[in-house]
Structure 1
């Protein structure tokens, strides 16, 4: 198959013969396996195992976004499949297994938070109905409301419009972000916390008026340094690459692993149970989950899918997004601990002393004051013979002048130029958020691969390891190693979906329902094929739920991807490891 340079300089299949599965294979081979930034972190036998990964699916792209999201997530899932084969070979003596990645099904992965259906034979609660007053009440029967700052639009769209892209005094665009509480962002602009708007587009206007009177650098200072809220100037891809921060992180591929030498921590796996077999390869692995929202929870859900036992720790006084819990809490017990109390801190220490992996996803430095920084966690387990894997996730990356800033998916997209290129593809020289939480979920896959790699290193060399992942690490890989569709391929998929043009101020609450409607009308048979979904039962909820199936497929076995523990809300379990790590019910 002949290749040519794509519009952004990455290699791609010639447009007249474009095929998503073939282009995915190219990204897998050249963007991952032959990419030194990524491959230098991977085990030596990854290439042998990668030969068993196959890609299939529809040739034409389906989603009218110019970035090659389908190819990106499919290639990353291919890497995850190859890593599972490495684990099977080293731990269980099982030869590399044939795995299949369907590139149509893979795209459901980064929109899975939108695709659940609770009680499908009864009330049939989904993400859209959960946004209505009746649906919200029905959803709350199963998942406790954790939105402590009314970001769920109970009084209209105004507070959520604090998360959006607006023009500045110096004619740049700036992505302000209300985070989990929009009040500080509104304070930074001199706006009221509540205003009465029924129309989302009308609710944008107060923010437009305020940001238009403030320069972009001043907005950055207010967001990052004064009010400690997420926010970024919307850079182009070249501006980000040439920035001090872009240069400081340019040496990182999808993740970075740091070894912590400890002479008493000998090579080892993890304590096995009767369930630790190639069928459930991570069974017996204990994971403490200190995360919220999407990217880091996607890491721990991915480990649970492989059999790991996950204890998610949140706090009743810390706000969270309950609407995400149906999708992202599969495979996890959920307990509340208040780190302000010594008794609860000791309960967490007890969990960590038995754990093999801890995953953190809070703003950099937040957990340090309680003794749960990466260094504190490693200190806590330094005297045991088994090393600890500490994975930490942030937005900007862990090097450079912006690493202290908080951020979310939209911020990474805007910061690295992904949003700018999407807006330009629609004909306007302005950024537009590319709709789906793609960088969140793809960062989640990168985290799973990074942790599997660290577990393999611990098994060979001993010691403890720190795994650094970031939304920007994924985003810069997307820009540099995956890229956008060739122009005629983009024009074709855009045309097939009505050539709709969206503007910089169209935020995710505005874009998501419109894109889902567009995909239902134009790509339903391709993307929403019933064979891509499965019915699961949650004993904790006492309900069946329709969800997208796991992406990685082992047609001849031996791995069974599923969840030992049914999804549930926050804080319903006790903060202790159960005797039976395969327990489904609340403990």
Structure 2
């Protein structure tokens, strides 16, 4: 039986004559799809192979989640590469030899669904965070920034979904965080008194059935500036001009910006800097929203970095994600339309080591904070800067300007089409969890560690480019889907539930979580994979997924210096004590 099946057969994961094993397949993917993958290995430090030998994978032999793509193997192997890069940093900066790391593949797959698993005060009232009993905490520390009410009604939520077009092709419509432009593009009202799921999607079904997909694409992308894509097959994406323009990149792209006045360096030391918190004292500016880019900066915070997230009062956001993705971050407001506040931002960047941006391509350019402008701002200081940008489609090719989300990347690269086909229908279905978001986050941590190591040995500054499509390309080409017998087995064990193209994530996620609880609770949802994380800010703990990378015998301690919180809670300044809970 083959270990895994990719769409083009290039992964190198061939038959091994043994029954399928998730940990064993992960180890093969780790070695073949990452360490020996030419598109990945060219960016890796010379010590990568040696430092990877201490990484060990364990877990249940059989897959648990009824999705045909090998999500557990993907996230587990990426976490293995992150641990490898941490080991290299320990060796170079702290003169500590690589330590054994254990990654449990059952635990690791919870990483891509962590936004749906946290519970506030697990031993207390045992009521949802949005309940009246906890509204006071929510309003104080997680103010609602859904400024356009994108998720307020089933009808608005249905603006983000896959629909069949007049020409028989499928189009992933996306309402982003403001459904109005998407509705305007279809000539639909902004509100509709629908109450059921079926009623809410019907107006969109009717409208898209009258429009060819080739007409819908420029209408969404160019005229109304909304995310949206034709749902391509994996082969269609790879042979497209855009797919070819980005085919030379895998997971992250890094570019050196040499500067003779910026010699090799690490970052200013603080008392806590050491192998237990390897990034302690590293200052990171976070200009991100939603999941992928925030997962990058959360990953740096887990390693000890000091992260200052900057948003603005007039910028809409997905508040429901903040309890999961704002751990380790101070959150402050700056209105970049104001020159005085732009000057404050410039001052913050001049003290930072890393700047991460995840807004639509070109947005930060309007305010003087493009990748090149940040490099220019910092070129006169002694310490180089790492400037990171993340988008959906990739930074080359004719679609690079488009905005996008996890569902859009899945649909664009053929991931959604293969999930729908696995369930017996020749149609795309979004594969339930924001896997490409969270895995892009891990790829971003790896890429930034790569840049930090290069700055430590060679000096200068670095540009790091991330993209949801970079990850999705790797998923298709190097990870692949389960062999059919393995897929049929896990699908059978979970009731062979069939989802259709018009079932959006608001529909599928609750049903998948119930399936996991009913059929795989003892494997996937083990207590040992969770921790009660204290929140000094809220005065109540969170029960949430514990860090995936486990140093069983030290020295690395993965945790967060500050509690999670929502937008605008803190002052826009670096605190004197980088381990302090609150600025204000």
Pick the TM interval, shorter chain: over 0.9
Are 1:12 and 1:26, in contact at CA under 8 Å, matched by a contact in 2?
Answer: no
Is 1:343 equivalent to 2:340 in the alignment? yes
The match for 2:245 is: 248
Match of 1:391 among 388, 395, 401: 388
Match of 1:318 among 305, 315, 319: 315
The match for 1:502 is: 499
The match for 1:70 is: 72
Cα distance in 1 for partners of 2:440, 2:126 equals 30
The match for 1:47 is: 49
Is 1:18 equivalent to 2:15 in the alignment? no
The match for 1:86 is: 88
The match for 1:229 is: 226
Secondary structure of 1:158's aligned partner:
helix
Offset of residue 539 of structure 1: 1.7
Structure 1 residues 465-497: Cα deviation after superposition (integer angstroms, max 9, x where no partner): 000000000000000000000000000000000
Cα distance in 2 for partners of 1:224, 1:466 equals 27
Offset of residue 198 of structure 1: 1.1
The match for 2:149 is: 150
Cα distance in 2 for partners of 1:114, 1:6 equals 29
Match of 1:217 among 210, 214, 217: 214
Q: CA distance change for structure 1 residues 136 and 218 in 2, over 3 Å: closer, same or farther?
A: farther
The match for 2:99 is: 97
Q: CA distance change for structure 1 residues 512 and 463 in 2, over 3 Å: closer, same or farther?
A: same
Offset of residue 243 of structure 1: 0.1
Secondary structure of 2:154's aligned partner:
coil
Q: Size of the alignment, in residue pairs?
A: 581
Over the aligned positions, Cα root-mean-square deviation in angstroms equals 1.4
The match for 2:453 is: 456
Secondary structure of 1:393's aligned partner:
strand
Are 1:418 and 1:475, in contact at CA under 8 Å, matched by a contact in 2?
Answer: yes
Between 198-207 and 277-286, the greater mean CA deviation after superposition: 198-207
Cα distance in 1 for partners of 2:243, 2:479 equals 17
Are 2:145 and 2:319, in contact at CA under 8 Å, matched by a contact in 1?
Answer: yes
Are 2:5 and 2:479, in contact at CA under 8 Å, matched by a contact in 1?
Answer: no
Offset of residue 540 of structure 1: 1.9
Are 1:49 and 1:85, in contact at CA under 8 Å, matched by a contact in 2?
Answer: yes
Secondary structure of 1:538's aligned partner:
coil
Superposition misfits of 4+ residues, deviation over 6 angstroms: 132-138
Offset of residue 584 of structure 1: 1.4
Cα distance in 1 for partners of 2:127, 2:115 equals 13
Secondary structure of 2:73's aligned partner:
helix
Offset of residue 542 of structure 1: 2.0
How do residues 401-440 of structure 1 correspond to structure 2 at under 5 angstroms?
A: 401-440=398-437
Are 1:64 and 1:490, in contact at CA under 8 Å, matched by a contact in 2?
Answer: yes
Cα distance in 1 for partners of 2:444, 2:6 equals 29
Offset of residue 573 of structure 1: 0.3
Give 5+ residue unaligned stretches, structure 1: none
Secondary structure of 1:86's aligned partner:
helix
Secondary structure of 2:534's aligned partner:
strand
Match of 1:199 among 188, 193, 196: 196
Are 1:15 and 1:489, in contact at CA under 8 Å, matched by a contact in 2?
Answer: no
Offset of residue 569 of structure 1: 1.1
Structure 1 residues 378-434: Cα deviation after superposition (integer angstroms, max 9, x where no partner): 111110010000010000000000000000000000000000000000000000000
Cα distance in 2 for partners of 1:223, 1:38 equals 33
TM-score by length of 2: 0.98
Structure 1 residues 343-374: Cα deviation after superposition (integer angstroms, max 9, x where no partner): 11111111100000000000000010110000
Is 1:113 equivalent to 2:115 in the alignment? yes
The match for 2:268 is: 271
Are 1:15 and 1:486, in contact at CA under 8 Å, matched by a contact in 2?
Answer: no
The match for 2:442 is: 445
Match of 1:515 among 512, 516, 521: 512
Cα distance in 1 for partners of 2:404, 2:430 equals 14
Is 1:59 equivalent to 2:61 in the alignment? yes
Are 1:13 and 1:23, in contact at CA under 8 Å, matched by a contact in 2?
Answer: no
Cα distance in 2 for partners of 1:60, 1:133 equals 41
Is 1:470 equivalent to 2:472 in the alignment? no
Cα distance in 2 for partners of 1:391, 1:382 equals 16
Structure 1 residues 123-180: Cα deviation after superposition (integer angstroms, max 9, x where no partner): 3354xx63x6777676435411010010122xx3000100000000110000000001
Give 5+ residue unaligned stretches, structure 2: none
Q: CA distance change for structure 1 residues 5 and 377 in 2, over 3 Å: closer, same or farther?
A: closer
Cα distance in 2 for partners of 1:581, 1:5 equals 45
Offset of residue 224 of structure 1: 0.6
Are 2:85 and 2:449, in contact at CA under 8 Å, matched by a contact in 1?
Answer: yes
Secondary structure of 1:288's aligned partner:
strand
Offset of residue 537 of structure 1: 1.5
